[in-house]
Structure 1
């Protein structure tokens, strides 16, 4: 039996793997940080017997509530992922699995590889409406890539989409893949109408270093990028620094920052209610966006989510708050579940990359319905 994580976004420490009935593992912390929750490893074993996998340090992870009612994902071909029986006893996460083939991958959520990220960028650039830009480099020397879709113009709205500030939240890049796929569909009326009115600036992966390293929440040196927006630096958070500098050049009329939540089994949004400049116009934009999304997809709801900030008490180091306040624009954090959408459960795959992608396509319709009101 062999267990390995020496691959893109791999993360696991093997403590004991001599007996399939008692495999003991631990999740490694993000480099330079106390955060850990993301795991991704491969198990190779020719024996067709029940495997009992124990992640022994789950009870001390970043979001312990994320393990309750959680099911890990597995794949034989790295393309089709399914949920596997998983239990949490308060300390250990226990996965029970009977392999059908010699080799199987396990992960916290369906991975989105760096190679797929590159494919997304370079396939998109082939479209006549799309331009691939490199804003600069990360601390590990990877490109900070941006897709500009549409032609700029004085009357065009600037719509920004950022995703995967927290690298373990891979559903965010799956969401963006669906969003881009629809936006570049020349037969889609919503997409064509939007590109007549807006130009899109899309950063599919805000944290490529953390993604490749197998981090949950931080960049190469353990910095949580979604607490850097008020004062980013090239030394600590070049990813945010480069994006905010570009935003200052283009202006921002709308910003969606795409994330995943470990604990809550719902799709929801978090707005700018606590920003000092928040007013009735801002509230009307937020309400319209949510009402449209509620009307077009049962995957979205607005009853469960984060507590709203008190007036003037927003944390302006958070991306959507900083953008909303700086540019006085509609800015939302969109959250998706690691577990499942409890209102529309799928017991085989739970919430998945495919469902995230479809949700991204739906969100384009909501953007269409508010674009004329952005300014």
Structure 2
């Protein structure tokens, strides 16, 4: 029996591997910070054996409530992922599963690999509708790529979508894949109508270093990118530094920052109620967007989510707050669950990559629904 994680996004610490029924593990911290929640590893040599995998340090992880009612995911081929029996036992998280093959992967959520990321950029460019530009380099000298789809004329509305500031929130890039696939479909009337009036600026992965390192929340320098927007550093948060500069160059009329939430089992959004420039126009746009997204996707709801910031109390170091305040525009953080969507549960798959992708597709209908009122 063997456990390995020396691959793209792999992350685990093995404590004991002496018995199929007592595999002892620890969830590893991000490479340069104390955040710990993401895991992704391969188990070999346990075919048809009743395995009990014990995660010993969940009380020390970033979001202990994220383990309540949580089910891990597994795959034999890293394409088809399914949920496996997972439960809390005191201060431990336990997976009990009988692998049906000699090699199986377990993960916190369905991964989105760097190879998939590069393929997504290649697909977008090959459509003939998208330009790929390089904004700069990450801490570990990986590319920060921007996809630009539209005419780029001054009269166009400027729609910005970014994903995976927190690299372990892989559902965010699945969302972007759905959005891009529909937006680049020349037979889709909603996409054609959008591109007649708007240019889209899309960053599919804000944090490729963290993604490859198997981090949950930070980049290679230990920076939480979603706390860097007020004063980003070209040395420790270049990902935000370069994207922010491009936004200042283009302007922003609508901004979506795509995330996943560890604890809340719903799809929801968080707006800019607490920023200094918040006003009745933005409030009306927020309401309209939520109404449109509810119609476009029954997966979305607006009853459960984060508490709204009091007036003037927003953290302007966060992307949605900074962008919404800087450009006086509609700006939302969109959150998807790591668990399942309790409004439309799926026992076999929970919330997964395909459901995230479908939500990305549906989001274009919501954007189209508010387009005429953005400026």
TM-score if structure 1 supplies the norm length?
0.99
Deviation at 1:284, TM superposition (A): 0.5
Deviation at 1:139, TM superposition (A): 0.6
Contact 1:86–1:94 at 8 Å: present in 2 too?
A: yes
Contact 1:60–1:91 at 8 Å: present in 2 too?
A: no
The answer for unaligned runs of 5 or more in structure 1 is none
Structure 2 residue aligned with 1:320: 320
Q: List structure 1 runs of 4+ shifted beyond 6 angstroms.
A: none
Partners of 2:25 and 2:46 lie apart in 1 by 20
* Secondary structure at the counterpart of residue 95 of structure 1: strand
Structure 2 residue aligned with 1:23: 23
Partners of 2:18 and 2:133 lie apart in 1 by 49
* Secondary structure at the counterpart of residue 278 of structure 2: coil
Structure 1 residue aligned with 2:173: 173
Deviation at 1:46, TM superposition (A): 4.6
TM-score if structure 2 supplies the norm length?
0.99
Matches within 5 A, 1:293-372: 293-372=293-372
In the alignment of these two chains, the number of paired residues is 375
Contact 1:59–1:90 at 8 Å: present in 2 too?
A: no
Partners of 1:112 and 1:32 lie apart in 2 by 21
Partners of 2:255 and 2:90 lie apart in 1 by 38
Deviation at 1:104, TM superposition (A): 0.3
Residue deviations 1:169-225, cap 9 Å, x none?
Answer: 000000000000000000000000000000000000000000000000000011100
Deviation at 1:296, TM superposition (A): 2.1
Contact 2:47–2:100 at 8 Å: present in 1 too?
A: no
Contact 1:82–1:348 at 8 Å: present in 2 too?
A: yes
Structure 2 residue aligned with 1:373: 373
The answer for unaligned runs of 5 or more in structure 2 is none
Partners of 2:47 and 2:343 lie apart in 1 by 38
* Secondary structure at the counterpart of residue 122 of structure 1: helix
Residue deviations 1:76-99, cap 9 Å, x none?
Answer: 010000000001134111000101
Structure 2 residue aligned with 1:256: 256
Superposed CA RMSD in Å reads 0.7
Structure 1 residue aligned with 2:113: 113
Partners of 1:89 and 1:334 lie apart in 2 by 32
Deviation at 1:270, TM superposition (A): 0.1
Structure 2 residue aligned with 1:53: 53
Matches within 5 A, 1:60-99: 60-99=60-99
